[in-house]
Amino acid sequence: MSDMTYRDALNLALKEELRRDPSVVIWGEDVALYEGSFKVTRGLLAEFGEERVKDTPISENTIIGVAIGAAMGGVRPVVELMTVNFALLAMDQLVNHMTKIRYMFGGQTWLPMVVRAPGGGGSQLAAQHSQSLETFFMHCPGMYVAVPATPADARGLLKTAIRDNNPVVFLEHELLYNSRGEVPDDPEYLVPFGAASVLREGTDVTIVAYSRMSILALQAAVELEREGISCEVIDLRTLNPLDTATFIASVQKTGRAVVVEECWQMAGLGGHLAWLIHRDCFDTLLAPVNRVSGLDVPMPYSRKIEKLCIPQMETIAAAVRETLSQKY
């Protein structure tokens, strides 16, 4: 095991897959000479050259469109969007083409491509650069959606994504890049899609979260343990495919659930998770499912107000206490 940052774990995964498979290429805005907006592609141009690591024009629709054609032709593109917010400029290619081509071609072609995109709030980047758009992507049949919370999962999920023959949207939270953790040294370390992780076992309540919210949920669980409250924390790891069985089994054990998402509450993932829990755990639920979400407002620039719009550790802990105070 090696201790490394989330950023370095992603960088290592890219290097390993570029070395392993000559069909893998890296494209995106400032990924070559500048080595990525968040330095995830550091050192790749120097090692692999400009034929495999290319800077692209500032045109997200073009980046995705070219990658789709290349993937159909046998290349494995890993494209980086400077921020997930810019994916909105490529939604036609992402939704109407990338997700549907295999279906519309009757399964005669594969689309092995990965779209990496940093996102999330908390960096004072204001309304147009602080969005959590994961539900946009998981709403569309035909693409996988990965949301790693730890350095180990960042490396393992990215390697799995690059090797998969289906299109993957790979979402990285900007506030996680400097986080550290233990990462297995095995060059073949892979994390399968559709397999949630039990980050912490508990008996009183289940917290279901993903991406940075899983880290905050863990922090809340540690705080609540001092009050005698035992929380089980489930990190979803991928949103499509979604591992329903793991969190359902957990809620059936604890009898209570809090679902946590950074995205807007309206039509957010949390509502779907709550429905699944009510559907499959109705006979064992001891209290209504609680939900913690980002506020349904454009993200403000002010740091103090921005913090109010994004779930915090204290928000999650308060939701757990509220859940434990309720009963059916």
Calculate Rg over the CA atoms of the chain.
20
Local confidence band at 228 (pLDDT 50, 70, 90 cut-offs): very high
Q: Which domain holds residue 314?
A: 197-324
Q: What is the CATH number of the domain that holds 212?
A: 3.40.50.920
258's enclosing H/E stretch is: strand 257-264
Instruction: Please report, as a single letter, which amino acid is at residue 218.
Output: L
Tell me how far apart the alpha carbons of residues 300 and 306 are, in angstroms, rounded to a whole number.
Answer: 5
Instruction: Round to whole Å and give the CA distance between 293 and 271.
Output: 10
Predicted TM-score (pTM) of this structure? 0.96
Question: How high is the pLDDT of residue 103?
Answer: 95
**What are the pLDDT digits (tens) for 252-262?**
999 999 999 99
Task: List the catalytic residue out of 16, 97, 129, 306.
Answer: 129
Rounded distance between C-alpha atoms, residue 115 and residue 79, angstroms:
5
Do the domain assignments include residue 192?
Answer: no
Residues 43 and 164 in one domain: yes
Please answer whether residues 4 and 42 qualify as being in contact, where contact means their C-beta atoms are separated by less than 8 angstroms.
no
Which of 158, 194, 149 is CA-nearest to residue 176? 149
Residue 160 has pLDDT above 90, yes or no: yes
User: Which pLDDT does position 109 carry in this prediction?
Assistant: 93
pLDDT for residue 279: 97
Same domain, 137 and 32: yes
Q: Are residues 100 and 238 in the same domain?
A: no
> For residue 190, is it within any domain?
no
Q: Are residues 179 and 201 in the same domain?
A: no
Q: Distance (Å, rounded) from C-alpha 251 to C-alpha 267?
A: 22
Percent of the chain beyond pLDDT 70? 100
Our count of domains for the chain comes to 2
SS3 of residue 69 by DSSP = helix
74: confidence class by pLDDT, cuts 50, 70, 90: very high
Query: Average of pLDDT values for 234-256?
Result: 98
Residue 170's alpha-carbon distances to 81, 112, 113, 147, in angstroms, are: 10, 13, 10, 6
Kindly tell me if the per-residue pLDDT of 328 is higher than 90: no
Q: Catalytic residue among 29, 60, 172, 306, which?
A: 60
**38 and 80 belong to one structural domain:** yes
Average pLDDT, the chain: 97
The rounded distance, in Å, linking the Cα atoms of 211 and 167 is: 20
CA distance 226 to 263: 29
Catalytic annotation present for 129: yes
Query: Following CA atoms 268, 277, 147, 132 in sequence, which dihedral angle do they give, to the nearest 10 degrees?
Result: 10
